Chain A
Amino acid sequence: MKRRMPGFDPERFFDLIKGGHTGQLAIGFHAQGPGWIDLILPYDAKLVGDAATGILASGPIVALMDMATSSAVWIRRGRFAPHVTLDLRVDYLRPATPERAVIGRGECYRLSRSVAFVRGVAYHDAPNDPIAHVAGTFMLMDAPAKDVPLQDQRT
């Protein structure tokens, strides 16, 4: 049975997003564990960056990782709250396999009063066999951040 805890519910959040850029890419909730969240980007021919190979463009992977790491911040803060991306770095370790969905794992590994530090990987089968690696920072736009201890985070 699923535990119901107050806070940010990523499954419900992504069920509700049908429009905008996230809806356009059909990014959805995939899985969640202590300190991490996985979102899924389904393969779609309209997101291809190289028509000759069918390999996904890098843009949709950046968008996936931006949302996965953002979700990790909202989970850690225990609610949805506005923040803006300061910077995001993506290392493309290998091409995504055509016709396969990409999973984006996001973690918020440090939350200061006004900045959230995040990292993540994009993968097909296992996070230790990544397609891309990301690191970034978000500026929190509201009141100083209140950290939620790991054991109280919704899983």
Chain B
Amino acid sequence: MIALPPYAATLGARLERDEAGAPLLVLPFGEPVLGRPGFLHGGAIAGLLEVAAIAALAHVLEADGGGRIKPINVTVDYQRGGRDRVTYAAGVVTRLGNRIANVEATAWQDDRAKPIAAARLNYLIER
């Protein structure tokens, strides 16, 4: 079972599972993640994407011997404003190597096909 970091609780995010059992982050709209009035803060969206990416990677690593995860970099593309409703985020491990993992994460609100932001993340794995 994956434990979310204290930072995820500060955002107000909780961990659920999608139909396939993969980690799904759920973030209610609220004061802790507010940017300009009525919109999510870009930093909170990036933080949520990173938590989702790490949850996805930890989930895949669990079945592959485990290991420590260290962030190398993240590139976030903001595609739509995050409005005052619940936001979901999930990561997909596109490649899991011996030392490096490539992860893509997406955040959406009403429609998964219309993401509000997407990120590519590279991680160093210490096995």
Contact = CB atoms under 8 A, between A and B. Distances in A.
Interface stretch (B16-24, B59-67, B75-83): B75-83
A113 interface: no
A150 interface: no
A63 B47 contact: yes
Interface residues of A, number: 34
Nearest to A67: B43
Interface residues of B, number: 33
Nearest to A87: B77
B93 interface: no
Interface of B: 3, 5-7, 9-11, 31-36, 40-44, 46-48, 50-51, 70-78, 81
Interface of A: 19-22, 24-25, 45-51, 56-60, 62-64, 66-67, 82, 84-92, 95
13 contacts: A21-B43, A21-B44, A24-B10, A24-B31, A45-B6, A59-B47, A60-B47, A63-B42, A63-B43, A66-B43, A85-B42, A85-B76, A90-B74
